[in-house]
Structure 1
Amino acid sequence: MEAVTNPRRERVDAARNRAKILAAAAEIVSVHGVEGLAMAEVAAAAGVGVGTLYRRFGDRSGLAYALIDEREREFQSAFIQGPPPLGPGADPVTRIRAFLHALTDRTVEQLDLLLMAETASPFARFGGAYDGYHAHLSMLIGQADPTADAYVLADQLLAPLAASLLAHRLRTCGVTVDRVKSALDQLLPLR
Structure 2
Amino acid sequence: MAPEQTPRPERADAARNRRILLATAREMLAALGADRLTMDALAERSGLGKGTVFRRFSTRAGIFRALLDEDERVFQERVLSGPPPLGPGAGPVERLVAYGRARAAYLMEHREIARAALDGRQQVPAGAQTPLNQIHLRMLLGRMDIGPANLDVLAVQLSAALDGPFLLYLSAADLGHAASEIERRMADSWEDLVLRVCRPRPPTRGGGPSER
TM (normalized to structure 1)? 0.80
Residue equivalent to 2:185: 179
Residue equivalent to 1:141: 141
**Structure 2: how far apart are the matches of 1:107 and 1:118?**
15
Classify 1:19/1:135 alpha carbon distance in 2 versus 1 (closer, same or farther; 3 Å).
same
In the TM superposition, what is the alpha-carbon distance from 1:87 to its structure 2 partner?
Answer: 1.8
**Structure 1: how far apart are the matches of 2:69 and 2:193?**
28
Q: Secondary structure at the match of 1:124?
A: coil
**Structure 2: how far apart are the matches of 1:181 and 1:117?**
24
- Larger radius of gyration between Structure 1 and Structure 2: 2
Higher RCO (C-alpha 8 Å, min separation 6) = 1
**Structure 2: how far apart are the matches of 1:27 and 1:7?**
30
Residue equivalent to 2:100: 100
Classify 1:163/1:27 alpha carbon distance in 2 versus 1 (closer, same or farther; 3 Å).
farther
Moved more, 20-29 or 114-123: 114-123
| CA RMSD, 1 decimal | 3.0
**Structure 2: how far apart are the matches of 1:170 and 1:52?**
32
Residue equivalent to 1:3: none
Residue equivalent to 2:130: 130
Q: Secondary structure at the match of 2:130?
A: helix
Residue equivalent to 1:19: 19
Moved more, 113-122 or 36-45: 113-122
1:134/1:154 contact within 8 Å kept: yes
1:118/1:163 contact within 8 Å kept: no
Of all paired residues, the percent bearing the same amino acid is 37
2:93/2:140 contact within 8 Å kept: yes
Q: Secondary structure at the match of 1:63?
A: helix
**Structure 2: how far apart are the matches of 1:105 and 1:8?**
35
TM (normalized to structure 2)? 0.73
In the TM superposition, what is the alpha-carbon distance from 1:42 to its structure 2 partner?
Answer: 1.0
**Structure 1: how far apart are the matches of 2:40 and 2:78?**
34
Instruction: Tell me whether 1:35 sits opposite 2:43 in the alignment.
Output: no
Q: Secondary structure at the match of 1:144?
A: coil
**Structure 1: how far apart are the matches of 2:90 and 2:18?**
36
2:138/2:151 contact within 8 Å kept: yes
In the TM superposition, what is the alpha-carbon distance from 1:91 to its structure 2 partner?
Answer: 0.9
Classify 1:121/1:13 alpha carbon distance in 2 versus 1 (closer, same or farther; 3 Å).
closer
Q: Count the aligned residue pairs.
A: 186
**Structure 2: how far apart are the matches of 1:160 and 1:129?**
10
Moved more, 167-176 or 36-45: 167-176
2:80/2:87 contact within 8 Å kept: yes
Classify 1:33/1:120 alpha carbon distance in 2 versus 1 (closer, same or farther; 3 Å).
farther
Residue equivalent to 2:155: 154
Residue equivalent to 2:209: none
Q: What are the ranges of 5 or more consecutive residues in structure 1 without an aligned counterpart?
A: 1-5
Residue deviations 1:124-160 (CA, integer Å, cap 9, x gap) = 359x952321121122122123533333333333334
Classify 1:118/1:43 alpha carbon distance in 2 versus 1 (closer, same or farther; 3 Å).
closer
**Structure 1: how far apart are the matches of 2:59 and 2:151?**
39
